[in-house]
């Protein structure tokens, strides 16, 4: 598993509300484990709810079940945000948060350049490899990360299943909770 890979939850991962129909961008991989953010699940919060000094509102996404009290972000403007960590291509995470607040308030960062998350998804290295082998995740290595990370979130998971086709087509229009069928 490498940073810049994307995980799509298998349709059969329905019993786990956090990861059901999730799309996860892997942002870090090292000897301690793997970190990613769920990029397709908005929370009911926005940046103004959590960062009162902001005067512009950005949505906040559910990054995962780990450290849900912490705010994280990915972006595509490393020239503006110092101390960013490159994920791949023109996609970065983290950086100087005080500077981010200042740049947002000065209208120098747009909605399509940054994405905020509460929490993250984390695994020890072998844990995620085992989950992939157990068919909990569809691993995508060649995705347009910048487009995927910042596209409208509703259809990301369904679009991938449609592209894969075959047995996955059955799941495209099924309700998230099969009991609502």
Q: Does residue 72 register a pLDDT over 70?
A: yes
DSSP string, 158-176: HHHHHHH-GGGGGGTTS-S
Q: Which uninterrupted H or E stretch holds 99?
A: helix 97-105
pLDDT band per the 50, 70, 90 thresholds, residue 177: low
pLDDT band per the 50, 70, 90 thresholds, residue 178: low
Per-residue tokens: 44? 């009911």
**pLDDT reported for residue 1:** 67
Domain spans of the chain?
Answer: 6-154
Q: Does residue 121 register a pLDDT over 70?
A: yes
DSSP state of 177: S
To the nearest whole percent, how much of the chain has pLDDT over 70? Answer: 91
Q: Give the least confident one: 46-55, 72-81, 93-102, 168-177.
A: 168-177
**How many CA atoms lie within 13 Å of 158's alpha carbon, on the beta-carbon side?**
11
Q: Give the least confident one: 73-87, 91-105, 129-143.
A: 129-143
6-154: CATH topology is VC0467-like (3.40.1740)
b/e sequence 5-27, b meaning 16+ C-beta within 10 Å: bbbbbbbebbeeeebbbbbbbbb
pLDDT in tens, 43-66: 999 999 999 999 899 999 999 999
Rounded distance between C-alpha atoms, residue 154 and residue 85, angstroms: 27
pLDDT band per the 50, 70, 90 thresholds, residue 167: confident
For tokens 């992939």, the residue is 132
**pLDDT reported for residue 115:** 96
The answer to whether the CB of 10 falls within 8 A of the CB of 93 is no
Q: What is the CA radius of gyration of the chain?
A: 16
**pLDDT reported for residue 141:** 77
CA angle 19, 43, 168 (to 5 degrees): 35
């Amino acid at each position: 598993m490498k940073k810049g890979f994307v995980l799509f939850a298998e349709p059969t991962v329905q019993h786990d509300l956090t990861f059901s129909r999730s799309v996860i961008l892997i942002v870090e991989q090292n000897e301690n484990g793997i970190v990613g953010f769920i990029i397709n699940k908005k929370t009911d919060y926005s940046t103004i709810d959590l960062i009162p000094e902001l005067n512009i509102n950005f949505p906040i996404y559910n990054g995962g079940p780990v450290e849900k009290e912490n705010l994280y972000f990915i972006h595509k403007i490393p020239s503006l945000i110092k101390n960013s960590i490159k994920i791949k291509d023109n996609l970065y995470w983290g950086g100087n948060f005080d500077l981010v607040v200042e740049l947002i308030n000065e209208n120098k960062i747009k909605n399509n350049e940054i994405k905020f998350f509460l929490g993250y998804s984390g695994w020890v290295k072998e844990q995620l490899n085992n989950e992939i082998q157990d068919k909990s995740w569809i691993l995508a290595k060649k995705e347009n990360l910048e487009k995927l990370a910042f596209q409208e979130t509703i259809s990301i998971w369904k679009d991938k299943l449609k592209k894969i086709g075959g047995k996955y087509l059955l799941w495209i229009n099924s309700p998230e909770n099969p009991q609502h069928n």
